[in-house]
Amino acid sequence: MVKLSVQQRRRLREILESISEMSSPQGRLRVLENAGLGDLAARIDLHGATSLAVSSIISDLAGHGRVSRENEALGLFLNEVKALTGLEDQQFLGQLMNEHSMMVPVANTPPMQEWLGRSTDSQVAEKIIGANTLRPVNFLSRGFEVSHSVGLITVRGPEGAWSGTGFLLTPDLLITNAHVLPQIDLLSRTDVRFNYEDDRFGRPCEVRSYQPKPNGMFHNNTTLDYALVELDGRPGDKWGWLPYNEVDMTVGQRVNIIQHPGGRPKEVAIQSNFVEYIADNVVQYITATEPGSSGSPVFDDDWRVCSVHCRGGDLVEPGTGRPVFRNEGVLLSSVVADLPAAVRARLSTQ
């Protein structure tokens, strides 16, 4: 059970009432289902005025308590809501989750730049319907093989905790987003978990944790939104790594993302996954992600890393001014070109 103060309840109601998805019963249900709370939604009155429905959701979820050993029902809901709010509200929600130990919240998402895609919704739907989705069965085994190099990052900063995703470029160099690891003094509070996933029977696998190497390498670039950190213990010797290769990307190709969305056990997005725009350092696509996926590797259909996922959500298409919903990553080639020469030399030997 989560006991919120009067001030916390008031601020939380204000945030929820400002979110467009919460303006209708269908939208409220969709947010709850996306948070994995579909079973609880049936007992909550989602109809009526937004203010009343929002109050019902807060009270019911806060009173329900934990849905697992680590997660409060309200925590799962707020983790999903973070993706629908601005930075200031994201910060409040993260602090609220940390203060009441609801769960480890995902990293705050930086402000979005304008969407640069040119396809209309109807064009995207036509591509999805008409595309050939047949793949050789070894597509699955190869995807499972490269997934071992992807880990869940948990950071416990002075003002609370957050999570993201990262992957190994060498046996000991991990890459993620700069907004997941924004500064070097957070490394002593950072943990990277590999094999955080379920086996084929749905049972939790044995997890191995690693920490940044004391006085090890750390380099980040907030413009390209990436961070590279050296891990102690060379985890790649056990879990493998994803060596850098030049990958040509084209609009219309498919990309697949292995990730820890919402801080959950490892998941993969391999459907409805088209590239919609490529220019300069940016690739934009419609592959599914959630908060917590920041720093995930974006693969082509040969399971070669082509991009580092960094953000997604509601954008504005400049040509029409209409709102669209897309995801975005920074090209790995741009990241590698920005790295110090000594680091690039290490990559070339792997």
pLDDT at 111: 58
Q: Is the pLDDT of residue 348 over 80?
A: no
Contacts of 337 (CB under 8 A, 6+ apart): none
Query: How would you label 165-200 residue by residue, b for 16+ Cβ within 10 Å and e otherwise?
Result: bbbbbbbbbbbbbbbbbbeeebbeebbbbbbbbeee
Decide if 56 contacts 17 (C-beta within 8 A): no
Contacts of 307 (CB under 8 A, 6+ apart): 249, 255, 283, 297, 298, 329, 330, 331, 332
Q: Is the pLDDT of residue 103 over 80?
A: no
Question: Is 204 in a helix, a strand, or coil?
Answer: strand
Q: Is the pLDDT of residue 15 over 80?
A: yes
Decide if 219 contacts 208 (C-beta within 8 A): no
Q: Is the pLDDT of residue 320 over 70?
A: no
Question: Which has more pLDDT, 263 or 107?
Answer: 263
Q: Is the pLDDT of residue 115 over 50?
A: no
> Which of the residue ranges 46-55, 147-156, 324-333 would you say has the lowest mean pLDDT?
324-333
DSSP string for residues in 165-184: EEEESSSSEEEE-TTTS--G
Query: pLDDT, tens digit, for every residue of 227-270?
Result: 999 999 999 999 999 989 888 888 888 899 999 988 889 999 88
What is the mean predicted confidence (pLDDT) over 8-26? 91
- Among candidate residues 46, 56, 48, 44, the one with its CA nearest the CA of residue 12: 56
What is the mean predicted confidence (pLDDT) over 30-52? 89
Q: Is the pLDDT of residue 116 over 60?
A: no
CA 86-52-38 angle, to 5 degrees, is 70
pLDDT at 198: 92
As a whole number, the mean pLDDT across the chain is: 85
